Amino acid sequence: MDKVILHIDFDSYFASCEQQFNPKLRGKPIAVTAQNGRNCIIAASRQAKKLGVKSPSTRWEAIQIAPDLIFTSASFEKYWEITQKFLNICSDYSPFVELFSLDEVFMDITRTKDLFGGSFSLIEKIKQRIREEIGEYITVSVGMSHNKLLAKLGSGMNKPDGFMQITTKNLDEVYKRSKLTDFCGIGDKIAERLQKLGIHTPLDLKAAPLDLLIREFKFVEGHFLYNLGKGIDLSPVTPYYIHDKTKSVGRNYCLLENTFDKRAVLQNIYELCEEVSLKLRRLRKSARTAFIYLGGSKSIHGRKTVLVYFESGKTLFEIILLILKDNHFNFESGDYVRRISIGASSLEDNCNTTLSLFEDKKSSHKLLGVIDKINEKYGDHTIRNAYLLYGPKLKTVPNGYMADKYEREKLALNANF
C-alpha cells in the first residue's frame, strides 16, 4: 500500500493570526515585527506580499515598497496557542502528526483516511474545523503525496487555501512548474553550485548522474540531492509527542541599524554564541559544528566542524572567529552588517560524549552550570563575559522563550504518553 502523506502549511501565519485577532487589520497590508523593537519584518500579510513586501526585510525597505504598510508586534504566545488547537484538530484524524515548525505539520493518513470518507474528505474536514474552531481568516494550504518531500513541495504550489497532489504520473509536470529552491533542503547557495554544474531546474536535477553530485557535494549531500531529484524520501512521519532528536540549535538577530563597527558586530556575535550555548546546555547536549551567516553590504556563509564536542559560548565564538578568518572577514570603507545568524549542529547528548581527562575542562563545565543558575535566578546578563561589558544586551524573548516553552510542552506530552 502506498503511503498517503499530507503537508499542511498555514498561509501567512503570523500576519493572518494578527488579522484574526484584530478585525481592523483584515484586508490590509500588514507587517509583523518582533516584540523587542527590532526593525526586521518577520512576516507579511497576503496583501503586503502582493505589493512585494517580503520577510526578512527592514522597515525602511518595506516602506519604500508599500508606504501604507501597517506594522504590528508579534504575539508568539497567541501563535503557540493556535498551533496547539491545530495539533488537536489534526490528531483527531491520525495519530501520526509531526510538528515541523510553528505553522506546518506532516500527517500520515494512510491507515485512517478511509475512516473519514477518503483523503479529500479528510482534508476538507480539517479545513472546516480550522474555520470553525480557530478562525475564518486563518487558512491552510495542503500538499499530498506518497512521501514528505513531495507533500511539502505540493503545499506551496497553490497558495493560499490551496491543495496540490503530487504522484509519480504528474511528477515531471510539477517539476516543470518548480524552481530548485522550492525544495526543502536547497537554498540559494546550493542552487548556485548546482547551476555551475549545468543543473538549473528540478528536471535537470532529476537527470543528473549520482557521481557528478558526489564529486561536487561529497557522499552524503550528493546522495541527498540525487534522491531529491528523483522524488525519493524514506523518512517517516514522527508524531510530535514522541521525542525527536534535535539536529541543530540557532539564534538569529536583526540589528537595529546598519552597523559599521567591527567590534560591535563581534560583540553581537559573541552574545548570540552565548545564547546558543545556553540552549545547548538546557537540552543537555554538546555540538561539534558551528555555523554563521552575516547579512549586510556583503553576505558571509560558513561552517566548521571540530574534533571535540563543545557547549560553551566562548568555544563557539572561537570557532566562529576561525570561520570569519577563512572568509576574510574584514571591514573596509562602507562595509556594514545588519543580520546575524549563529548556530551549532552535529549534536550529541552529553551522556554519550567522552568525559574530559583534564581538570580545567571539568572545572569549566561546573562554572558554566553555576553561571546559568545565577542568571536564571537573577535575570539574563547578571554574569557575562568581560568582552561584552559595554556590549549590547540582546533581547530574544520571543524566539528563546517560545523555544524553551516548546521543549517544556514536549516533555509534558512525553510524560502523558
Q: Which residues lie below 8 Å from residue 365, measured CB to CB, with a gap of 6+? A: 311, 356
Residue 262 banded pLDDT, cuts 50, 70, 90: confident
For every residue of 213-261, DSSP letters joined together read HHHHHHHHHHHHHHHHHHT---PPP--TTS-----EEEEEEEEEEEE--
For the segment 265-271, the average pLDDT, to the nearest whole number, is 89
Higher local confidence (pLDDT), 23 or 360: 23
- Residue 232: CB atoms within 10 Å: 13
pTM higher than 0.95: no
113 has pLDDT over 90:
yes
Query: For residues 231 and 203, is the Cβ–Cβ distance under 8 A?
Result: no
- Whether residue 211 is found in the same domain as residue 262: no
Based on the fold, state whether residues 189 and 326 are members of the same structural domain: no
43 by DSSP, 3-state: which?
Answer: strand
Other C-beta atoms closer than 10 Å to the C-beta of 107 total 28
Instruction: Look up the CATH number of the domain holding residue 32.
Output: 3.40.1170.60
- Residue 405: which pLDDT band, with cuts at 50, 70 and 90? very low
Question: Are 268 and 311 within one domain?
Answer: yes
Whether 349 and 201 share a structural domain: no
Q: Domain boundary residue among 51, 78, 105?
A: 78
pLDDT at residue 381, rounded to an integer: 55
Identify the pLDDT of residue 115: 95
Could you tell me which of 340, 323, 324, 181 has the C-alpha nearest to residue 250?
340
* pLDDT of res. 231: 93
- 113 lies in some domain: no
Q: Over the stretch 117-144, which tens digit does the pLDDT of each residue have?
A: 999 999 999 999 999 999 888 999 999 9
Q: Which residues pair with 31 in a beta bridge?
A: 44, 71
108 in any annotated domain: no
Q: Does 136 participate in catalysis according to the annotation?
A: no
pLDDT at 378: 55
Domain count of the fold of the chain: 3
The predicted pLDDT at position 399 comes to 38
Q: Which amino acid is at 380?
A: D
Q: Which helix (H) or strand (E) holds 293?
A: strand 285-296
What confidence score (pLDDT) does residue 373 get? Answer: 61
Domain boundary among 240, 258, 287: 240
CA–CA separation, 137 and 139 (whole Å): 6
Report if residue 380 sits inside a domain: yes
Given 57, 78, 99, the domain boundary residue is 78
Give pLDDT tens digits for 236-256.
Answer: 998 876 655 667 888 888 887
Q: Given 104, 271, 274, 311, which residue is catalytic?
A: 104
Q: Are residues 307 and 369 in the same domain?
A: yes
Domain ranges, residue 36 = 13-78
Q: Indicate whether 349 belongs to any domain.
A: yes
Q: How far is Cα 390 from Cα 230, in angstroms, rounded to an integer? A: 53
